[in-house]
Amino acid sequence: MLETILPLADNMPVFIPGIVLLGVFIGFLTGLFGVGGGFLLTPALNIIFGIPYPIAVGSDLLQIFCTGTVSAFKHWKRKNVDLRLAAILAISAVAGAEAGKRLMLLLKEGGGDTVLTINLFSQEHSLLKLTLDILFLVLLGGVMLTILNEKPDAKTGETKTNISKWLHGLKLSPLVSLPASGLSALTCWAPISIGFLVGIVTGLMGVGGGFIMFPVLVYVIGVPTSIAVGTSAFQILFASGYGAFAHFGAGHVELKLVAMLLTGSMVGVQIGVYASDRLGNKNIRKYFSFVIGLAILMIIYSLIKNLFF
């Protein structure tokens, strides 16, 4: 019996080994980059396994929360977490996650009981699915271009951008000291705004937000890569935990699917954290761009298939 039925997904069958292997890969990404892996997991569940986006989003968030707990703890033990920065990001991300969940429900049904659709190329398409595919493509593309165009320091392997330099010089009160990140004074409005926006992405797209949070911490706030990985992993717990709770109430969490994903991801996260300790900062960012590219190709395939075939 290599298949099982998912009741919340209209009793559709799924291939158990395939889901478990996907969980291993996502867990590896969580440990290596400090991301939840939802930027790959949510579209993969929908595109490869045919699971409806609302179920993929809700189940993904619960899996991210469980796997992220292990990853965050291991990075905390290695002193790779800026707890003060993570707390600011987490509080604002929870508010954003609620806004994102409400936006997803609006795109799904427009506040009513009928699924919203849009007519393109003489076919009806789900407004929610089309919107999420395009958002994934735009956000992932922006992250990948940023990483590929970076100019790291030859000695440290870190990179300083004009926007991070500008933020470091901005003395807009209140200011916060982040010694773990090497920042003596940073305006609180920067992490508050970033946390809220990443929270919206979490609630809307079913991702922990790490695929945005990690590069934003490095390129916008100017946090060292190793600290950005651990802090991003820690922040994911709060955003994904609240998002999972909200989607559970909406009936979007398929526990059987979560269990299969966790079986694999708990193994993968151990391998990822081990690898993270042994790769240089520049290499971590470079490999992250490769994974982003994989997700982009998957989204492009989904858009072409849905719009033209």
Q: Has residue 34 been placed in a domain? A: yes
Q: Six-digit token pair at 291?
A: 């994974």
Q: Has residue 3 been placed in a domain? A: no
Please state the rounded mean pLDDT for residues 104-133.
Answer: 70
Q: Has residue 1 been placed in a domain? A: no
In this prediction, residue 259 carries a pLDDT of 94
Q: Give me the sign of the Cα torsion angle 14, 70, 80, 208.
A: positive
In this prediction, residue 77 carries a pLDDT of 86
CA-to-CA dists, residue 8 to 113, 154, 199, angstroms:
17, 52, 25
Q: Which residue has the higher pLDDT, 255 or 133?
A: 255
- Is the pLDDT at 122 greater than 80, yes or no? no
Q: What are phi and psi of 121, to 5 degrees?
A: 55, 45
Q: What is the DSSP string of 95-115?
A: HHHHHHHHHHHHHHHTTSSSP
Q: Has residue 5 been placed in a domain? A: no
Reported as a single tens digit per residue, the pLDDT across 36-52 is 677 778 888 988 898 98
- Is the pLDDT at 113 greater than 70, yes or no? no
Contact 256, 11 (CB under 8 A): no
Nearest one of 250, 252, 216 to 235, comparing CA atoms: 216
Q: Has residue 7 been placed in a domain? A: no
Q: Six-digit token pair at 80?
A: 């790779």
- Is the pLDDT at 263 greater than 90, yes or no? yes
Maximum Cα interatomic distance, the chain, rounded to a whole number of Å: 62
Query: Which residue range(s) make up the domain with 102?
Result: 12-308
Lowest-pLDDT range of 6-15, 158-167, 222-231, 273-282: 273-282
Q: Has residue 136 been placed in a domain? A: yes
Please state the rounded mean pLDDT for residues 22-46.
Answer: 81
Phi-psi region at 184: left, alpha or beta (left = phi > 0; alpha = psi -120 to 50): alpha
Q: How confident is the model at residue 112 (pLDDT cuts 50, 70, 90)?
A: low
- Overall number of domains in the chain: 1
pTM over 0.85: no
Q: Has residue 278 been placed in a domain? A: yes
Q: Has residue 4 been placed in a domain? A: no
- Is the pLDDT at 291 greater than 70, yes or no? yes
E strand map for the chain? 3-6, 12-15, 117-120, 123-126, 175-178, 183-187
In this prediction, residue 305 carries a pLDDT of 77
Q: How confident is the model at residue 206 (pLDDT cuts 50, 70, 90)?
A: low
Contact 235, 214 (CB under 8 A): no
